[in-house]
């Protein structure tokens, strides 16, 4: 099985190399790894023994952020190295003040893992959620470097729990401790004889619970809304989400839409303009007359990094991705007390399941269901119930970071 694993890793890299001239993210992925190991070796001085955090992409970075902030605050002399697998994480956070060094993660081969870990020499390592690399985990294990998984979540249908999953179970066995999001994950691990696991929750709650206090004002959006209370904030949307929103909301003349698409490429923004012809772009806001702004029903946020503040302007939130690989972050909206609406593919996201059970989350697959929800939320008592449940859920679920910090201190990985 290891031979197949190594073949798959190599094949993945070859495919990205082939498509890189035509695909921006693939191009960044390839370019970011050229002479990377030499660069890392020359950048990190000997004897620093930093803490290494690895994130697949931007969402996982947000899960690790509360723990990094806690370490930075309490132990300012500790060095932190961050690696990303995806360009979307690296390009946005490569200058984060939370790290001393930020790199792409070299491809998971035995040679790369050995050279990377020899160069970095981490005192301990933190991975998040569900990214497991055989050679890196194996090399850390051989060197007795502690590796913890935070916000870990497992499902029974994953390969680790299948009769043919022995090789992948050996990867999990290299982890020093799993901090799981739910007890189902803890039980699944114990069923395959991995006992170093416990419930901590999702560290993202510790981040999002603070967002309303840290929220930045966005004057352009305030001017666009102009006191209107019926505002939908649609975040991280994909084309199918956007078509559904258009089908529903073009009939709802009294609603305004703040639309923050997942992809802000020129071609996609042009597609959005064809779906919402009268929309105005955030980047061109100052070029419009006040009368045009007041009459506009849609503002397209054609940059990144603002979404967590934008939810504070909404009455309802639509979270994109539910017609593709899975929904994006529902918690950033829920923390403001917004009922959250999303597409049908949410089963891998515990928070979405929880919000639905609480009556604060709603999955839809067609525009008529969207219209029905809008009708329901015209009733003040229905809206107030969903809003309070969303806000309370985030507040009640926070607290994972102190649990993890206590473990790190107890294991003498950080001073008590």
| 278 classed as catalytic | no
Report phi then psi at 17, rounded to 5. Answer: -65, -40
Give, in order, the Cα–Cα distances in Å from 46 to each of 41, 43, 115, 227, 378: 9, 10, 14, 57, 62
Question: Between helices 239-249 and 367-376, what is the axis angle to 10°?
Answer: 50
- Catalytic positions are 60
């Amino acid at each position: 099985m290891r031979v197949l694993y190594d073949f798959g890793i190599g094949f993945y890299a070859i495919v990205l190399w082939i498509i890189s001239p035509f695909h921006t993210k693939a191009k960044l992925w390839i370019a970011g790894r050229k002479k990377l190991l030499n660069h890392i070796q020359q950048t990190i001085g000997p004897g620093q023994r930093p803490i290494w955090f690895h994130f697949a992409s931007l969402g996982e970075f947000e899960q690790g952020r509360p723990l990094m902030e806690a370490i930075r605050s309490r132990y300012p002399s500790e060095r932190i190295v961050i690696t990303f697998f995806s360009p979307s994480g690296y390009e946005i956070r490569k200058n984060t003040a939370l790290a001393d060094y930020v790199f792409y993660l070299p491809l998971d081969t035995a040679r790369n893992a050995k050279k990377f870990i020899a160069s970095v020499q981490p005192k301990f390592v933190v991975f998040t959620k569900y990214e497991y690399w055989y050679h890196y985990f194996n090399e850390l294990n051989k060197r007795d470097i502690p590796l913890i998984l935070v916000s870990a979540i497992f499902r029974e249908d994953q390969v680790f729990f299948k009769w043919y999953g022995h090789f992948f179970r050996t990867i999990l066995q290299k982890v020093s401790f799993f901090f799981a999001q739910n007890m189902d994950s803890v039980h699944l691990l114990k069923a395959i004889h991995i006992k170093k696991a416990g419930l901590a929750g999702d560290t993202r709650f510790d981040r999002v619970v603070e967002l309303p206090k840290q929220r930045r004002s966005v004057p352009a959006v305030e001017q666009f809304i102009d006191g209107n209370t019926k505002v939908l904030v649609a975040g991280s949307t994909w084309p199918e989400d956007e078509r559904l929103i258009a089908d529903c909301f073009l009939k709802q003349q009294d609603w305004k839409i703040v639309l923050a698409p997942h992809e802000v490429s020129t071609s996609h923004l042009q597609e959005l303009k064809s779906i919402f012809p009268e929309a105005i772009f955030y980047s061109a806001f100052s070029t419009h007359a006040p009368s045009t702004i007041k009459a506009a029903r849609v503002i397209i946020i054609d940059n990144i990094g603002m979404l967590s503040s934008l939810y504070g302007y909404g009455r309802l939130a639509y979270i994109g991705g539910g017609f593709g690989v899975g929904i994006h972050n529902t918690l950033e909206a829920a923390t403001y007390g917004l009922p959250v609406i999303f597409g049908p593919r949410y089963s891998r996201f515990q928070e979405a399941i929880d919000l639905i059970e609480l009556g604060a989350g709603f999955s839809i697959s067609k525009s008529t269901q969207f219209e029905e929800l809008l009708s329901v939320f015209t009733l003040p008592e229905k809206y107030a119930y969903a809003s309070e449940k969303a806000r309370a859920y985030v507040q009640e679920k926070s607290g994972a970071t102190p649990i993890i910090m206590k473990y790190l201190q107890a294991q003498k990985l950080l001073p008590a």
